[in-house]
Structure 1
Amino acid sequence: MSQATHEFILGGQKSGKSARAETLAQVWLQSPQRQAWLIATAQPWDDEMSQRIARHQQDRALRVPGLRTHEEPRQLAEALRRLSAPDTLVVVDCLTLWLTNWLMPAPGQAAQDAEAPVAELLRALAQVRGPVVLVGNEIGLGVIPMGREVRQFVDRLGRLNQQVAAACDRVTLMAAGLPLSLKAENPQP
């Protein structure tokens, strides 16, 4: 991964997205003058989610001990700008939960339009000086959801995925733990 390369990794649930991002961080951290941050966007909405987050934190600490974690459920662009540097890889896991935090927040919080935060994220990606790896779910491959709100979310996530893919040098689709390159850094005509 070069200094300013951005990669978007997407796929279904348990497809190997996070494992690929962690592998990229491990490779990046082989150089002693480099550092890496993970921006975690998940929020512990219930006991199961709290346990899931704790398990991910423990597992990640064992797999990639040099990867530091910054929790940021909503102000992603600001966190990217603050943590990015030429010698620093920033991993964002994941965009799907980040969008959920805006459009379908936890009980007691008001939903907000995500257009401005998405635009700010895209501006930040264009401005940061170091490499970024973004993880997100591809959920548009199944049947059309029954509920209006869920259809709107699937549509909005699909647009976000397209926008982020356009802003990245590389796009990788994960399936069954295997990467499929959708967009290469130096695409052939």
Structure 2
Amino acid sequence: MARVLVTGGVRSGKSRYAEALVDASAPAIYLTPGFPADPAADPEWAARVRAHQARRPAGWRTVETLDLATEISAAESPVLVDCLGVWVTRLLDSWQAWSADPSAWGNDFDTEVSRLVKAVARCPQVVLVTNEVGWGLVSEHRSGRLFADQLGRVNQAVAAACDQVVLLIAGRPLTLS
């Protein structure tokens, strides 16, 4: 494992594949920018989070953060990030970008992406999970187009900093580079 970007559609097996790339017998850092699970508010989301947590080896430390760049830069053990699609969503939420003009948040977004790419390029062992957004229809909703556009930019930038990109289709990996 070096720097690997794992992409694919929803429920394609991305997370399981990415987890298998990290040595389960050694310490690792599992970075998640996801929303905290609240079983009362969203039992289905909470069940998904629990399933991910149950698969993680005991020696892995979980960190919930939006500041992926800082955590990756400080890591002294392998890092797994799951997932960049959630990270983009949370960033856009934090700036209320869904209805705001890009001039209000675009520079902040570019800065965060640049910080992430630099951290990935310097990290000796990092696996990042993302969603593939390039095969669907162009959304009729501004928020859908905004998400796809920004995640597509992030995926391209992070892929350029990685040694390998793997596409998961129906649980099967296809190495792209």
Give the TM-score normalised by structure 1.
Answer: 0.79
Is this contact kept in 1: 2:5–2:162, CA < 8 A? Answer: yes
Q: What is the letter of the counterpart of residue 110 of structure 1?
A: Q
C-alpha distance after superposition, 1:12-41 (max 9, x if no partner):
11100000111112xx133xxx31110011
Q: Which residue of 2 aligns with 1:35?
A: 27
1:55 deviates by: 4.1
Q: Closer, same or farther in 2 for the Cα pair 1:118/1:63, shift >3 Å?
A: closer
Structure 1 stretches lacking a partner, 5+ long: 184-189
CA distance in 1, matches of 2:71, 2:28: 13
2:119 corresponds in structure 1 to: 124
1:8-157 to structure 2, matched below 5 A, reads 8-25=5-22, 28-30=23-25, 34-44=26-36, 47-48=41-42, 51-53=44-46, 55-72=48-65, 74-82=66-74, 84-85=75-76, 88-105=77-94, 110-111=96-97, 112-113=105-106, 114-128=109-123, 130-157=124-151
How many equivalent residue pairs? Answer: 166
SS of 2:79's equivalent in the other structure is strand
The letter of the residue matching 1:182 is L
The 3 A distance-change label for structure 1 pair 53 and 77 is farther
* RMSD between aligned residues: 2.1
Distance 1:62 1:97 in 2: 19
Q: Provide closer, same or farther for how the CA distance between residues 45 and 110 of structure 1 changes in structure 2, counting only shifts above 3 A.
A: farther
Question: 2:58 is aligned with what amino acid?
Answer: P
Once residues 65 and 81 of structure 1 are traced to their aligned partners in structure 2, the CA distance between those partners, rounded to angstroms, is 23
1:66 Cα deviation from its structure 2 partner: 2.5
Q: Deviations over 1:145-169 (max 9, x none)?
A: 1012321221111111111111100
Counterpart in 2 of 1:174?
Answer: 168
TM-score where L is the length of structure 2: 0.84
**Deviation of the 1:53 alpha carbon:** 4.2
Distance in 1 (CA, whole Å) between partners of 2:27 and 2:71 is 15
Is the contact made by 1:22 and 1:64 (CA closer than 8 Å) also made in structure 2? no
CA distance in 1 between partners of 2:134 and 2:145 (Å): 10
| Percent of aligned positions that are identical | 40
Name the aligned partner's letter for residue 172 of structure 1.
Answer: V
